Amino acid sequence: MKAVVFYLLTIIACLYGKRFRCDYKHVPAVDGWIKYHEVPANWREARLRCHLEGAKLASPLTEELKTALRGLIPAGDDCGVFTGIHATFSRGDFHSVEGIPLWKIPHVWAANEPNNDKDEESCLLMTSQGELADVSCAETLPYLCYKKNTPNMVVNSCGTIDNYYTMDHRTGSCYKFHRVPRTWSRAYMACAAEGGHLAIINSETEAQVMKEIFAKNPGGKMLGNFWKDVAFIGFHDWNEHGEWLTIEGQTLEEAGYAKFSGGEPNNSTTGEFCGSIYRNGMFDDLWCENKYAFICEKSPDSLLCEDDQ
Ligand SMILES: *[C@@H]1O[C@H](CO)[C@@H](O)[C@H](O)[C@H]1NC(C)=O
Ligand SMILES: *[C@@H]1O[C@H](CO)[C@@H](O)[C@H](O)[C@H]1NC(C)=O
Ligand SMILES: [Ca+2]
Ligand SMILES: [Ca+2]
Ligand SMILES: [Ca+2]
């Protein structure tokens, strides 16, 4: 029933124009979608979050885009927003995250800028007036992400344009196995940015689904020097060291599945405070700060707009 409703919604969404995701605003003038992130972040985090959302840290690349971006900065924002224009690869060589050099980007500087204060200013902000200033990349500012429309952009049955998400009809959830390893915290960020969360195992069936997903991702298909028989999922000790709860605050038993692999959790050397799953579908405690593959879970309607429903 849920699936039928969802397909109907998808058809309606298609009739009313292409959607990217409901937290982004469609701006026809720039043939794309823009999101204002109100919680300030440093430049590196801002860049990464836009990337993980399937977009780019926005820069005023054209007058139209500048106007669109300014239009989404709330009145009262006096500090400005980070742009994607940076010189973090080579100091002084400013390019947008799309690789466009500063000289090709129409720009007006704010008073007394750029000044490269203390030789530490490799990121550019844009004021609400649309003027640029160089600032430290370690500053924290709001920012905007921009997704340019591309041909063949289709929202799939998982409610995302990310075709690595696949629906499992046994659980009604969509899953994505991330082969690019990240720390548990970054893995959490990636799943959240995709409109989901680190996978929560609610049944034997879902543990079986995890096994099957793992089997489709042999170690040989993952690039890099990391342990490939374990993946981060959505439980954690919440820094209490001993009690394991899902990222939604349930005990593993309440969530519906609590099978640790034999001998686990073993806290083998300190730091195994994050939840993971072995290829055999059983749990392990694992080092939070090391990088491993991870599995996200997403409800098919998590990025659908209210007005689609
Ligand atoms: C893990 O080991 C560290 C030190 O060896 C200890 O501080 C921590 O409490 C242990 N955690 C658990 C859950 O046993
Ligand atoms: C303890 O867990 C770690 C992974 O979290 C694993 O590498 C190690 O083999 C385990 N040790 C034992 C004795 O099971
Ligand atoms: Ca400056
Ligand atoms: Ca689940
Ligand atoms: Ca362990």
Burial of 298: CB neighbours in 10 Å, binned 0-12, 13-18, 19+:
buried
Name the band, by pLDDT with cuts 50, 70 and 90, for residue 19.
Answer: confident
Q: What are the DSSP calls for 236-273, one per residue?
A: E-TTSSS--EETTS-BHHHHT---BPTT-S---SS---
Helix (H, G, I), strand (E, B) or coil at 75: coil
Tell me the domain boundaries of the chain.
Answer: 18-148, 166-298
Mean pLDDT, rounded, for 292-301: 97
Residue of 267, 274, 287 with the most ligand 1 atoms within 8 Å of its CB, for mutation: 267
Beta bridge partners of 294: 178, 232
Considering only CA atoms, give the Rg of the chain: 22
Residue 96 has pLDDT above 90, yes or no: yes
The binding-site residues of ligand 1, defined as CB within 6 angstroms of any ligand atom, are: 241-242, 267, 270
Q: Measure 36 CA to ligand 4 centroid, in angstroms.
A: 30
Architecture of domain 18-148: Roll (3.10)
Q: Measure 262 CA to ligand 5 centroid, in angstroms.
A: 10
Name the band, by pLDDT with cuts 50, 70 and 90, for residue 215.
Answer: very high
Instruction: For residue 285, give the ligand 2 atom closest to its CA.
Output: 5
Mean pLDDT, rounded, for 183-188: 98
Q: Measure 142 CA to ligand 3 centroid, in angstroms.
A: 17
Q: Measure 268 CA to ligand 5 centroid, in angstroms.
A: 6
Closest Cα partner for 47 from 183, 141, 155, 133?
141
Range of lowest pLDDT (122-126, 151-155, 193-197) = 151-155
Residues 19/160, Cβ–Cβ less than 8 Å: no
Q: Which fold has domain 166-298?
A: Mannose-Binding Protein A; Chain A (3.10.100)
229 lines ligand 2 (CB under 6 A): no
Provide the pLDDT for residue 222: 97
Range of lowest pLDDT (74-78, 86-90, 114-118) = 74-78
Query: What would you measure as the largest C-alpha separation in the chain, in angstroms?
Result: 64
Mean pLDDT, rounded, for 81-110: 98
Residues 63/170, Cβ–Cβ less than 8 Å: no
- Do the domains 166-298 and 18-148 match in fold? yes
The average confidence (pLDDT) of the chain is 93
Residue of 229, 264, 272, 283 with the most ligand 2 atoms within 8 Å of its CB, for mutation: 264
User: Tokens standing for 231?
Assistant: 């993946």
